[in-house]
Structure 1
Amino acid sequence: MAKTKLLSVIVPAYKQEKTIGRDLTNIVQTLETGLPADFGFEIICVVDGVLDHTREEALKTKSPRVKVFSYKENQGKGYAVRFGMSKARGSYISFLDAGRDINARGMMMLMAHMDWYHADIIVGSKRHPASIVSDYPLIRIIYSVAYHFGVRVLFGLPIKDTQSGIKIFKRKVVEVILPRLLVKRHAMDIEMLAVAWHLGFRRIYEAPIKVRFDKSVSSIGFKFFGANSASKMLWDTLAVFYRLHILHYYDDVNKDNWLRT
């Protein structure tokens, strides 16, 4: 069957030299066997700062479907995902954290939910009733529950987990929100979702995922999540709220002031 649709998968990677080759190979094999017959795919690995041998190891992946991009300085996961999205060609654009905390087969579950719900965005959710979550630190569970209560109050999003590192967007959503986004590090997920919701993309749903937390390989600077990270997350989240509802920065009328980052 001809490949009439294309899925782009952004894989941001930070200091993953020991695992990135295995991760990319696993994603390739998973998508080759799991996607519907009419789907092709591309994997865009964005090395968030050339600080070790992650780029070299990623380039060793033996698949023409894997493209590797990098830049010299570490910019943060939000920047890496946006950079990858700007290079994506797919009609569906997703991102998946390196590190294998999240089982790559979850991508097929998200794609199925995208079809079932005719969704604009599907969010992988640790708090979905059908999700399987193991070895997840209690402190992160506490932070997560508290944070997402605040997110619901501030933004009205109809989901319980905004922070899991696997999401899929229709291309039209990415094309609308991408020029407006600012957050480079903390709260990049909530900015994407809140801006999309604000701009009328209301078909946002959750899908179950399988997560096994491994602090030794978790990606993009999330090896430890403590009070300092929580405070930065809160600050960035409040900044998104301020830009959204006070400054109206993300609205079309403010287009000339959007930063080209």
Structure 2
Amino acid sequence: MNSNNCSVSIVIPVYNEQKILRRQIEHIIKELRSRSKFKYEIILVANGCTDNTFRICKDLNRYKAVRTIFLDKADYGYALRAGMSSAIGKMIVNFDIDFYDINFLFQALALEPFGYDIIVASKNIKLSSDNRKLIRRVISGLYKYVLYYGFGLQVSDTHGIKAWRNDKKLRKLIDKTVNNKEIFDTELIIRSQYAGRKLLELPTNVKEIRKSVSSIFKRALRGSLQIFKLWLSIKIFEKR
């Protein structure tokens, strides 16, 4: 696909998603075909999979708009980085395989002329609906305050769906972002705000369609340690 006529690159990291992968991707394609006339690509980033996800991704590549990046190690942030770095669309939208919002994608496109560089689908603002388990909602709320008081972050959510203006400034910020795993996109948003990028939040509705493939407690612990290291890096060492 020619980068000059691709409006949106949809990046979706996938890890051991054989049960829902085909259904979810084909539903996204069906929705886009029925509602859009713009050119798009779907980039699946299969990372460290040990089930049939790789094989299903290869099969989904039969769709003209779908391509897959295969990575050996399981790492969400590294997968998101790889997908965003290879995207050719004027806008990048990152979805999770168990959480996507086609309406958000169209809203982000409609807002493109207003000059926003990053649009966040936030679970933590008015008019949003978060139907996940209580423990996940509590962790998200704590995370929001940690980022606000620790970094002065002006958006209330950094995990989940986001739309990014795909320009040279974003590429430089991706290269400057040092973390992968749980907080790649969090660090990228923080650095984007510090670089003067224009951010906007939109409400979203979230509900779980299956159990998480990894432990929420382990991810929360890893993420907390990474956030502390990032705070030291940005607030202490980079200011020297």
Query: Normalising to structure 1: TM-score of the pair?
Result: 0.82
Are the structure 2 counterparts of residues 87 and 43 from structure 1 closer, same or farther at C-alpha, using a change threshold of 3 Å?
same
Cross-structure match for 1:67: 67
Q: 1:168 aligns with which of 155, 163, 168?
A: 163
Q: 2:129 aligns with which of 128, 132, 139?
A: 132
More helix by share: 2
Q: Does 1:14 align with 2:15?
A: yes
Counterparts of residues 1-40 of structure 1 (less than 5 Å): 4-35=5-36, 37=37, 39-40=38-39
Are the structure 2 counterparts of residues 239 and 113 from structure 1 closer, same or farther at C-alpha, using a change threshold of 3 Å?
farther
Cross-structure match for 2:154: 158
CA distance in 2, matches of 1:243, 1:193: 15
CA distance in 1, matches of 2:112, 2:224: 30
Moved more, 101-110 or 190-199: 101-110
Q: CA RMSD in A?
A: 2.1
Cross-structure match for 1:190: 186
Are the structure 2 counterparts of residues 208 and 34 from structure 1 closer, same or farther at C-alpha, using a change threshold of 3 Å?
farther
CA distance in 2, matches of 1:113, 1:231: 36
CA distance in 2, matches of 1:72, 1:86: 17
CA distance in 2, matches of 1:7, 1:40: 7
CA distance in 1, matches of 2:111, 2:139: 27
Q: How many residues are paired up?
A: 235
1:134-176 CA-partner distances (Å, limit 9, x unpaired): 2x1111111111111110112212111122x211110124212
Gaps of 5+ in 2: none
CA distance in 1, matches of 2:31, 2:19: 20
Are the structure 2 counterparts of residues 89 and 197 from structure 1 closer, same or farther at C-alpha, using a change threshold of 3 Å?
same
Aligned residue for 2:39, secondary structure, equals strand
Q: 1:212 aligns with which of 190, 207, 211?
A: 207
Counterparts of residues 233-248 of structure 1 (less than 5 Å): 233-248=223-238
Cross-structure match for 2:89: 90
Cross-structure match for 1:111: 109
Gaps of 5+ in 1: 250-261
What is the percentage of aligned positions where both structures have the same residue? Answer: 24
1:90-122 CA-partner distances (Å, limit 9, x unpaired): 1111210112x333433223333444x420100
CA distance in 1, matches of 2:209, 2:58: 24
Q: Is the 8 A contact 1:21 1:60 kept in 2?
A: no
CA distance in 1, matches of 2:123, 2:35: 21
Shift, 1:27, TM fit: 1.6
Q: Specify the code of the residue in structure 2 equivalent to 1:122.
A: I
CA distance in 2, matches of 1:131, 1:19: 25
Query: Normalising to structure 2: TM-score of the pair?
Result: 0.89
Q: Is the 8 A contact 1:113 1:207 kept in 2?
A: no
Q: Is the 8 A contact 2:13 2:96 kept in 1?
A: yes
Q: Specify the code of the residue in structure 1 equivalent to 2:122.
A: S
Cross-structure match for 2:43: 44
Q: Is the 8 A contact 1:11 1:81 kept in 2?
A: yes
Shift, 1:4, TM fit: 4.4
Shift, 1:5, TM fit: 4.8
Q: Is the 8 A contact 1:109 1:208 kept in 2?
A: no
